[in-house]
A and B are shown apart, each in its own frame.
Chain A
Amino acid sequence: GQQVMQIPQYQHVQEGEDFTTYCNSSTTLSNIQWYKQRPGGHPVFLIQLVKSGEVKKQKRLTFQFGEAKKNSSLHITATQTTDVGTYFCAGRKEYGNKLVFGAGTILRVKS
């Protein structure tokens, strides 16, 4: 079945450092979504990417969708303690009807 691999599983950074999480799919995706789950909370939608090579920004967060539509990344510039949580990517296979989630990257920020 469709696999969405996400790395790293865990990252601990000093406040002010950058952070990146990567997602890779074994098959071409029609779109990819990113979610954030705060500790003790539920996943909350951040953004959706649809086009090949698409780049979107939300303040300190930069999201990219690869040219082949098989990989994606989320980059946070100058992390803050409010960035703590688990970041999930979720991809939809072309012509598919299900969203497949990556395992998530847990981000911890030391102040």
Chain B
Amino acid sequence: DVKVTQSSRYLVKRTGEKVFLECVQDMDHENMFWYRQDPGLGLRLIYFSYDVKMKEKGDIPEGYSVSREKKERFSLILESASTNQTSMYLCASTSGQRPAPAETQYFGPGTRLLVL
């Protein structure tokens, strides 16, 4: 079974703090993604990465950065947290390989971040 883990389930931070969210997958997947989930808006893509040290902006990258130094780990960084970044953050990975349909997204349990 694919396992995607995230460093924290719940996190409370103050405005202006630098925040690191970590995601690790154990299936040697090439592709990793960060989404945020907000009521009524579904999942919105922040950043994704197709390879180590490679990153691409998603639909809402402003206020975020990412790091992929190792294949299994993809970090999301909030440089200076703001209250409008209070959200559920979901990490996902895909292999693009069979037997699952190409690009089936395997999600981590999510990190619920509250910025005060």
Contacts and interface: CB of A to CB of B under 8 A. Distances in A.
B107 interface: yes
A92 B107 contact: no
B36 to A, nearest CB: 11
B42 A103 contact: yes
Interface in B61-116: 90, 100-101, 103-110
A43 interface: yes
B108 A42 contact: yes
A6 to B, nearest CB: 7
Contacts of B44: 101
Q: Interface range on chain A: under 10, 10 to 19, 20 to 34, or 35 or more?
A: 20 to 34
A99 B103 contact: yes
A13 to B, nearest CB: 20
Contacts of A103: 40-42
A31 B107 CA distance: 19
A9 B38 CA distance: 13
A86 B22 CA distance: 25
A91 B58 CA distance: 15
Contacts of B54: none
A85 interface: no
Nearest to A1: B59
A107 to B, nearest CB: 15
B19 interface: no
A100 B42 CA distance: 10
Given A6-B42, A99-B105, A103-B41, 15 more contacts: A1-B59, A9-B40, A31-B101, A41-B109, A42-B108, A42-B109, A43-B43, A43-B105, A48-B104, A50-B101, A88-B43, A90-B105, A97-B56, A98-B45, A101-B42
